[in-house]
Amino acid sequence: MRTLAEDTSPEAERVLIELWRRATPARKFSVVLDTTRSVQEFMLSGLRERHPDDSPARRRRRFAEWWLGPELAGRVYGEDTDDSNGS
């Protein structure tokens, strides 16, 4: 039997699926929220590393462009006047 993830055994996947089935909606939401926050922290860490001289406002804008996409970030934050525009 093939699993959804190549590095996961069928038994491990079966256990994981059963745990998700038994989890309450609140528990599932908590896991998703924690994962989302972790991804955002990794993204911010990468932005700080690649653009150490950015102001906090510029870093927020770069994050918004990455997280929301340039079009929605522009609608939320207004036009980007920085010449480096996400680079």
- Quick check: is 45 in a domain? no
Flag whether the pTM goes above 0.85.
Answer: no
Structural domain for 67, as ranges: 51-87
- Quick check: is 41 in a domain? no
Residues 55 and 86 in one domain: yes
For residue range 10-63, list pLDDT tens digits in order: 999 999 999 999 999 999 999 999 999 999 999 999 999 999 999 999 999 999
**Please, which residues have CB within 8 angstroms of residue 61's CB and are 6 or more apart in sequence?**
73, 77, 80, 82
- Quick check: is 76 in a domain? yes
Which tokens in the block code for residue 35? 């994962």
- Quick check: is 78 in a domain? yes
Which residue type is seen at 36? T
Q: How many domains does the chain have?
A: 2
- Quick check: is 42 in a domain? no
- Quick check: is 21 in a domain? yes
DSSP secondary structure string for all residues of 18-82 = HHHHHS-HHHHHHHHHHHHHHHHHHHHHHHHHH-TT--HHHHHHHHHHHHH-HHHHHHHH-----
